[in-house]
Amino acid sequence: MRFTKMHGLGNDYVYVNCFEEEVENPVELAQIISDRHFGVGSDGLILIGPSQKADVKMRIFNADGSEAEMCGNGIRCVAKYTYEHGLAQAGGSFAVPGQQSYPASLNIETAKGILTVGLIIDQSDTVQKVCVKMGQPILTPKDIPVNLTGEKIVDEPIEILGQELSMTCISMGNPHAIFFCDDVGSIELEKVGPAVENHELFPNRINAHFVQVENPTSFTMRTWERGSGITMACGTGACACCVAAVLTGRAEQVCTAHLPGGEMDLNWCREDNCVYMTGPAVEVFEGIWPIR
């Protein structure tokens, strides 16, 4: 089975072109191939296949084999792969309302729905960056889901490992819990991350993010991803952190997220209430995985 290793800001996945390859058991394959000692090594497995509704369809499986609804860094890589490997023809222009316009676009089917992406292509016809229209943030607890009542969860107290923290919860097609702090580097993420992910408030588990806001247009974040652990970046998580920072009065709607793997530009657009995420996508290498 041929595969391609790609990453967005260090958030790395193994990608399989299901136009040409067949994956019979993606749950098992994700666990084996993601192992960083005995496999290829990745945060998970992403399948790129035909779609009846869009240019291509993507499915995401975390390193533990669980299937995720969305992956912001992953969809940028899917867009790059689709364009550069000729799986679909890029469509017309794509624009962020009142902001930048992109001359080429693709539609990608996800478990969240169909998302539109704009491509930044250099003179060698290589995709350097991708802007994704991530859709409107979901704030209602039952739709995130979180076992709390009310219209939204903003600066809600929660006890984690005997300590009371202040939490904001948002879904960008997958669930996120955001915690603002003064020093993101001091957080023992390997301890607190699993405790948040598996807390009884979250019926589908949750992604945990700790955020330090430097100024109204810049913040630094660290992530514990549901099913994958500590990762270098989380695209949907960065979008959720942008929304949370705006809701709590800490940041403006256009800002930059600084992640361990690099920078991501974010825009919670006032015109359509959608979050736009722009960042790089990199193809690392191709290989052949033995089918056992």
Q: Which one from 77, 131, 169, 234 is the annotated catalytic residue?
A: 234
Long-range contacts of residues 137-144, Cβ cutoff 8 Å, at least 24 apart: 137/170, 137/171, 137/172, 137/239, 137/240, 137/243, 137/268, 137/273, 137/275, 138/170, 138/171, 138/172, 138/173, 139/170, 139/171, 141/169, 143/171, 144/169, 144/170, 144/171, 144/175
Contacts of 213 (CB under 8 A, 6+ apart): 180, 219, 245, 250, 251
71 is catalytic: yes
Tokens 């990762």 correspond to 231
Is the bond preceding residue 145 a cis peptide, omega within 30 degrees?
yes
Select from 169, 163, 89, 111 the least CA-distant residue to 137.
169
Select from 118, 121, 131, 108 the least CA-distant residue to 50.
108
Amino acid at position 259, single letter:
L
Mutual orientation of helices 235-247 and 72-84 as an angle, nearest 10°? Answer: 130
205 Rama class: left (phi>0) / alpha (psi -120 to 50) / beta: left
Residues of the chain by 3-state class (helix, strand, coil), percent to 5:
15, 45, 40
For residues 128 and 136, give the distance between their C-alpha atoms in angstroms, rounded to a whole number.
25
Contact by Cβ (8 Å): 85, 256: no
Q: Which one from 71, 241, 242, 274 is the annotated catalytic residue?
A: 71
Phi, psi torsion values for 171, nearest 5 degrees: -110, 135
241 is catalytic: no
- Residues acting as catalytic residues: 71, 234
